[in-house]
Amino acid sequence: MQKKLIIGNWKMHPRTLGEARKNFLAVKKEAAACKNVDAAIAAPFTYLLELGKISGAALALAAQNVSSEKEGPHTGEISAGMLAATKVKYVIVGHSERRALGETNDFIAQKVRAVLAAHMTPVLCVGEIERDTGMFYLSAVKTQLEECLALIPKNAVVRVVVAYEPVWAISSTPGHRDATPEDALEMRIYIQKVLADMFGHANADKVRVLYGGSVDEKNALGFLIAGRADGLLPGKASLTPKRFAAILKLANNLK
Three-state secondary structure along 31-81? HCCCCCEEEEEEECHHHHHHHHCCCCCCCEEEECCCCCCCCCCCCCCCCHH
- pLDDT at res. 1: 67
What is this structure's pTM?
Answer: 0.96
| Per-residue pLDDT at 218 exceeds 70 | yes
Domain locations along the chain = 4-252
- Provide CATH code, domain 4-252: 3.20.20.70
DSSP-derived letter for residue 86 is: T
| Per-residue pLDDT at 216 exceeds 80 | yes
- pLDDT at res. 177: 81
- pLDDT digits over 97-124, tens only? 999 999 999 999 999 999 999 999 999 9
Catalytic residue ranges: 95, 165
Averaged confidence pLDDT in the chain: 95
| Per-residue pLDDT at 138 exceeds 70 | yes
- pLDDT at res. 176: 74
CA distance 118 to 114: 6
DSSP-derived letter for residue 245 is: H
- pLDDT at res. 50: 97
| Per-residue pLDDT at 174 exceeds 90 | no
| Per-residue pLDDT at 183 exceeds 80 | yes
Q: Is 91 helix (H, G, I), strand (E, B) or coil?
A: strand
Residue 134 pLDDT class (50, 70, 90 cuts): low
Task: Give the rounded percent of residues in the chain with a pLDDT score beyond 70.
Answer: 98
